[in-house]
């Protein structure tokens, strides 16, 4: 992450622009520009070598007017509270744009799980929840996995919470393994949701999936399932990128006639790093980190971290690109966004495109709270319906008003949250 880039400043700039379009009054603007609550804390951990190391943790609850806060927990060595604030803000809009009764939250710990043993990671998860156990739970704030956290981390958090609360509360966290209250379809949900919106955008452009080529940044959970679903629907994915922990650098892996997502998945470690030697032996070109950006494709899917398409590299995007579907949170800076707008590239904004994850998390929460679980086909069918409905609501507003897709999505989301705040008498 660039030291000059501040995700929360970007989130506020996006909000301010749409607040002006909606002509929101000053009170509601002041309320929605900043989080309602923030928790900053330290987590002391006894390391495997006997030493004690102190980690910094956060939980930010941006707005809960429409329901309990919802959002993931990130483990990242460059985590900042401003990043967590931004992500919590975007979660508010994400839940609102797909019309699920939840608000926005986010959590994080400054750490690198690559360098922590499983026991140390478990201690960190349990330490995190001990610090915020009175402020999270099924009726006020429901965490989930995010960058470099996984279902096992969620189980440790759930177990510690239930010890403290003295009962079973499987709906207090989502992204769990199916065996302890997770939802079928949750693993695929975010990546599939991105592709459902891409599919609907292509229909509006009168383009068929069979003629489409795509390039994806990342090869974590979102990118893996987005690539699998695109290929299943007939598209060709020519490139993916990933972080290589050994070399401490990202690479792009390209196969001009189309990647084999299942093969790449078979040689990818749990942190999303592809085995270089095995990929090259199978005929994949290994290119520099940002090579995913300038491929001759129709669709780009940034599905890694924020601040990836910037003023410095946006001109690298090939002239044939028709759609940018933001699988990651905040991958495009406002300056780069202006370039995409001028070029007429159809942008499916992050908090719409990647809302499949939180939608399925909501499904998981509903199933846990009712103690009745759905088959996978039903989960994915409901996910498709939610994502399709939300996409067309935004696209229709964009066409009717002439507003950019990102602004149209914000207009719908912010108006829904503002209405809930007004009805509650908050502003």
Query: What is each CA distance from 407 to 403, 415, 419, in whole angstroms?
Result: 6, 12, 18
192/212 Cα distance (integer angstroms): 17
Among 70, 94, 106, 254, the active-site one is: 106
Strand pairing of 52-63 and 69-76? Answer: unpaired
What is the rounded radius of gyration, in angstroms, for the C-alpha atoms of the chain?
Answer: 21
Catalytic residue check, 106: yes
Other Cβ atoms within 10 Å of 134 Cβ, number: 11
Enumerate residues 6+ apart whose C-beta is below 8 A from 234.
208, 209, 210, 212
DSSP 104-165: EEEEEEE--GGGS-HHHHHHHHHHHHHHHTTT-BTTTEEEEE-TT--HHHHHHHHHHHHHHH
Enumerate residues 6+ apart whose C-beta is below 8 A from 21.
403, 407, 411
What is the separation of C-alpha 342 from the centre of its chain, rounded to a whole number of angstroms?
Answer: 26
Q: Annotated active-site positions, please?
A: 106
């Amino acid at each position: 992450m660039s030291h000059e880039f501040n995700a929360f400043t970007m989130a506020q700039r996006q909000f301010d622009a749409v607040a002006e379009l909606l002509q929101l009054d000053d009170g509601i603007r002041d309320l929605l520009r900043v989080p309602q609550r923030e928790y900053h804390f330290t987590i002391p951990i006894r390391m495997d070598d006997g030493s004690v190391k102190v980690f910094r943790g956060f939980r930010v609850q941006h707005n809960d007017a429409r329901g309990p806060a919802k959002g993931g927990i990130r483990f990242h060595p460059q985590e900042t509270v401003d990043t967590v604030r931004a992500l919590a803000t975007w979660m508010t809009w994400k839940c609102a744009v797909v019309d699920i009764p939840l608000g926005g939250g986010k959590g994080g710990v400054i750490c690198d799980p690559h360098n922590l043993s499983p026991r140390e990671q478990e201690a960190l998860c349990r330490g995190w929840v001990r610090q915020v156990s009175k402020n999270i739970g099924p009726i006020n704030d429901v965490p989930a996995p995010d960058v470099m956290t996984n279902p096992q981390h969620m189980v440790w958090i759930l177990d510690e919470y239930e010890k403290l609360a003295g009962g079973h509360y499987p709906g207090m966290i989502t992204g769990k393994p199916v065996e302890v209250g997770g939802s079928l379809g949750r693993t695929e949900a975010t990546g599939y949701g991105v592709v459902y919106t891409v599919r609907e955008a292509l229909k509006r452009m009168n383009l068929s999936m069979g003629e489409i080529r795509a390039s994806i940044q990342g090869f974590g959970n979102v990118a893996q399932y987005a690539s699998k679903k695109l290929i299943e629907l007939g598209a060709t994915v020519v490139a993916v990128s990933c972080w290589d922990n050994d070399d401490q650098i990202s690479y792009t892996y390209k196969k001009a006639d189309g990647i084999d997502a299942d093969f790449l998945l078979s040689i990818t470690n749990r942190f999303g790093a592809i085995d270089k030697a095995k990929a090259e032996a199978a005929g994949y070109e290994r290119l520099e980190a940002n090579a995913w950006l300038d491929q001759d494709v129709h669709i780009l899917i940034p599905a890694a971290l924020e601040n990836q398409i910037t003023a410095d590299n946006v001109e690298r995007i090939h002239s044939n690109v028709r759609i940018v579907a933001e699988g990651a949170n905040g991958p495009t800076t406002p300056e780069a966004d202006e370039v995409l707008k001028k070029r007429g590239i159809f942008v499916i904004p992050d908090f719409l495109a990647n809302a499949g994850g939180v939608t399925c998390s909501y499904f998981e929460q509903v199933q846990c709270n009712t103690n009745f679980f759905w088959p996978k086909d039903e989960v994915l069918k409901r996910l498709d319906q939610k994502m399709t409905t939300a996409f067309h609501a935004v696209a229709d507003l964009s066409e009717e008003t002439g507003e950019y897709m990102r602004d149209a999505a914000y207009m719908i989301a912010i108006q829904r949250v503002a209405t809930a705040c007004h009805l509650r008498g908050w502003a």
